[in-house]
């Protein structure tokens, strides 16, 4: 060891080191070539494909994350839209119900009025018909009463009554009976 | 428990024998040439094996990649992503994205090479050499740990040095690099500023020497640690009877597993820190 150190300080130290450790130009060059061969092999068959797939996976993860965020945002938007639509539908439904109620009330009122009018009309007609019937019956009764009076008078008196007599007796009898 | 105690006793006994007997066999410092005219060393064979293992693993792990990972793909992704995150925390996203191919290669290559060197047979399978007279002239192992060869560690260290300068220049420019080396650190006014100029010029020269030495230090640190580990295993195995050779080395195999990982991490970490430090001024502008 000490002899090696001593020799290393000599002018031909490099030669001594080369000889001691077997550093040869041809071997050195061959090992450099070997080393570059390893670099080529590893770069082509290991680092290249592995880094490519790692990058691909990283990209996919980033894309997935972005997609997830987009989906979450879309979901939130969709929920907000749905909630707004439901609120609007609710509001519309309430408005329609109110309108329907108002419409129903108005319709009911209208129908009631119509029914009342019809009923009044029917009552008026019935009253008019009743009055007409009473008038007709009264006229018939008067006529029958007159005829009965005239017949009775004819049978009692044995006198054939003229039209004027019949009319006079009827009027007298009717004025006593009243209307 | 009894087995563990027995193993420990045997191991201690073998160690005593080892140290009492003294070391005989030693791993040579240099990688040996396997062929007379072909520049192929036994460590180079290990490096090719490491390349083969890496290629095989990569093909198996990334052959049919799916977005939902499973099995080897899962493991490979975990390993790459962990290292990438580690470097990203150290150097920032920009530098890491730009240089990961190099730092990833450095780490996984050193790790695989270190672990392959622990496979039984590395350094022990080979043939005995004979000289022209037919006498024994040493042992030539077919395999030697890739990083137990200074040529390999120097190849990585000096490749890093070149890339380091290239990345520094492209990140902060020549001016930025010169400023990083020579500019005064801190704020000085008046006469102090004038006095500091020669000091920081000298500091700059020292910084240049430091930068020049770093790849050498990187190379020798890795080489020393791996060679030292292998030498330890060799010594321990060689100094007991052959049938017991596995035993003294056994605990050190676990330590070497740790050393293999730590050294891969240290080399990668130091390179990353050197790059970060030199590009730091550039990063402030990003």
Measured between CA atoms, the residue of chain A closest to residue B51 is A38
The whole-number pLDDT of residue A155 equals 83
Measured between CA atoms, the residue of chain A closest to residue B83 is A47
Lowest mean pLDDT segment, chosen from A28-32, B7-11, B194-198: B7-11
Taking an 8 Å cut-off on Cβ atoms, the answer to whether A38 and B58 are in contact is no
pLDDT (tens digit per residue) in B45-59: 989 999 899 889 888
For chain A, percent of residues with pLDDT exceeding 70: 92
The whole-number pLDDT of residue B18 equals 43
Lowest mean pLDDT segment, chosen from B32-46, B77-91, B102-116, B252-266: B32-46
Rounded Cα gap, residues B244 and B242, in angstroms: 5
**Residue of B82, B142, B73, B70 lying closest to B111 (CA atoms):** B82
pLDDT (tens digit per residue) in B117-172: 988 888 878 888 887 777 777 788 888 888 888 999 999 999 999 999 999 999 98
pLDDT (tens digit per residue) in A20-58: 888 888 888 988 998 998 899 888 888 888 888 888 888
The whole-number pLDDT of residue A50 equals 87
Q: Is A60 on the interface with B (CB under 8 A)?
A: yes
- CA distances in angstroms from B99 to B88, B138, B164, B279, listed in the order given: 10, 44, 10, 12
Tell whether the model's pLDDT for residue B4 goes beyond 70.
no
pLDDT (tens digit per residue) in B30-50: 887 877 777 788 888 989 999
Taking an 8 Å cut-off on Cβ atoms, the answer to whether B152 and A50 are in contact is no
Q: Given pLDDT bands bounded at 50, 70 and 90, which one contains residue A178?
A: low
Measured between CA atoms, the residue of chain B closest to residue A58 is B67
Q: Given pLDDT bands bounded at 50, 70 and 90, which one contains residue B14?
A: very low
Point out the residue among B51, B62, B151 whose CB comes nearest to the CB of A46: B62
Q: Which chain A residues are within 8 Å of B59, Cβ to Cβ?
A: 45
Lowest mean pLDDT segment, chosen from A10-24, A64-78, B260-274: A10-24
pTM of model > 0.80? no
Three-state DSSP string of chain B: CHHHHHHHHHHHHHHHHHHHHCCCCCCCCCCCECCCCCCCEHHHHHHHHHHHHHHHHHHHHHCCCCCCCCHHHHHHHHHHHHHHHHHHHHHCHHHHHHHHHHHHHHHHHHHHHHHHCCCCCCCCCEEEEECCCCCEEEEEECCCCHHHCHHHHHHHHHHHHHHHHHHHHHHHHHHHHHHHHHCCCCCCCHHHHHHHHHHHHHHHHHHHHHHHHHHHHHHHHHHHHHHHHHHHHHHHHHCCCHHHCHHHHHHHHHHHHHHHHHHHHHHHHHHHHHHHHHHHHHHHHC
The whole-number pLDDT of residue A116 equals 92
Q: What is the mean pLDDT of residues A91-101?
A: 92
Q: Is A2 on the interface with B (CB under 8 A)?
A: no
Chain A closest CA to B99's CA: distance in Å? 11
Q: Is A37 on the interface with B (CB under 8 A)?
A: yes
Q: Which of A14, A18, A32, A35 to mutate to test the interface with B (most CBs of B within 10 A)?
A: A35
Tell whether the model's pLDDT for residue B95 goes beyond 80.
yes
More confident residue, B11 or A117: A117
- CA distances in angstroms from B189 to A25, B192, B193, B195, listed in the order given: 50, 6, 5, 10
Tell whether the model's pLDDT for residue B285 goes beyond 60.
no
Taking an 8 Å cut-off on Cβ atoms, the answer to whether B155 and A31 are in contact is yes
Q: Is A43 on the interface with B (CB under 8 A)?
A: yes
The whole-number pLDDT of residue B121 equals 82
Q: What is the mean pLDDT of residues A145-166?
A: 79
Point out the residue among B29, B51, B154 whose CB comes nearest to the CB of A28: B154
Q: Which residues of A96-121 are buried (b: 16+ CB within 10 A; e: fewer)?
A: eeeeeeeeeeeeeeeeeeeeeeeeee
Q: Given pLDDT bands bounded at 50, 70 and 90, which one contains residue A87?
A: very high
Taking chain A, what is the end-to-end CA distance rounded to the nearest angstrom?
170
Point out the residue among A34, A39, A56 whose CB comes nearest to the CB of B47: A34
User: Residues of B at the A interface (Cβ-Cβ below 8 Å)?
Assistant: 28-31, 39-41, 44, 47-48, 50-51, 54-55, 58-59, 61-62, 65, 67, 69, 76-77, 80-81, 84, 100-102, 104-105, 108-109, 149-152, 154-156, 158-159, 223
């Amino acid at each position: 060891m000490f002899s090696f150190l001593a020799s290393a300080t000599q002018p031909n130290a490099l030669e001594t080191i080369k000889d001691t450790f077997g550093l040869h130009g041809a071997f050195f060059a061959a090992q450099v070539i070997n080393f570059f061969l390893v670099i080529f092999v590893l770069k082509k068959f290991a680092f290249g494909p592995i880094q490519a797939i790692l990058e691909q996976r990283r990209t996919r993860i980033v894309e997935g994350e972005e997609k997830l965020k987009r989906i979450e945002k879309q979901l939130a938007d969709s929920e907000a839209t749905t909630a707004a639509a439901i609120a609007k539908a609710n509001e519309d439904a309430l408005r329609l119900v109110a309108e329907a109620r108002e419409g129903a009330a108005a319709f009911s009122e209208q129908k009631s009025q119509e029914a009342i009018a019809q009923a009044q009309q029917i009552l008026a007609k019935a009253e008019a018909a009743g009055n007409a019937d009473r008038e007709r019956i009264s006229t018939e009764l008067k006529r029958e009463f007159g005829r009965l009076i005239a017949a009775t008078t004819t049978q009692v008196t044995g006198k054939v009554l003229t039209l004027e007599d019949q009319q006079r007796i009827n009027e007298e009898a009717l004025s006593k009976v009243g209307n | 428990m009894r087995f563990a105690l027995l193993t420990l006793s045997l191991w201690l006994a073998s160690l005593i024998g080892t140290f009492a007997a003294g070391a005989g066999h030693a791993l040579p410092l240099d990688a040996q040439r396997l062929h007379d005219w072909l520049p192929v060393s036994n460590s180079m064979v290990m490096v090719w094996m490491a390349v083969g293992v890496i290629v095989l693993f990569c093909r198996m792990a990334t052959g049919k990649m799916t977005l939902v990972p499973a099995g080897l793909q899962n493991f490979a992704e975990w390993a790459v992503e962990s290292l990438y995150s580690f470097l990203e925390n150290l150097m920032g996203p920009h530098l890491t994205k730009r240089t990961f191919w190099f730092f990833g290669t450095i780490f996984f290559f050193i790790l695989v090479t270190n672990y392959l060197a622990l496979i039984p047979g590395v350094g022990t399978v080979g043939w005995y050499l004979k000289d022209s007279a037919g006498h024994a002239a040493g042992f030539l192992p077919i395999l030697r740990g890739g990083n137990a060869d200074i040529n390999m560690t120097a190849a990585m260290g000096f490749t890093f040095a070149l890339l380091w300068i290239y990345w520094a220049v492209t990140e902060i420019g020549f001016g930025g690099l010169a400023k990083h080396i020579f500019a005064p650190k801190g704020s000085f006014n008046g006469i102090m500023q004038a006095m500091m100029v020669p000091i920081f010029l000298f500091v700059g020269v020292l910084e240049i020497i430091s930068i020049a030495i770093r790849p050498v230090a990187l190379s020798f640190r890795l080489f020393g640690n791996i060679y030292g580990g292998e030498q330890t295993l060799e010594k321990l195995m060689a100094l007991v009877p052959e049938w017991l050779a596995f035993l003294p080395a056994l605990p050190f195999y676990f330590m070497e597993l740790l050393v293999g990982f730590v050294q891969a991490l240290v080399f990668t970490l130091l390179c990353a820190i050197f790059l970060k430090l030199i590009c730091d001024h550039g990063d402030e502008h990003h």
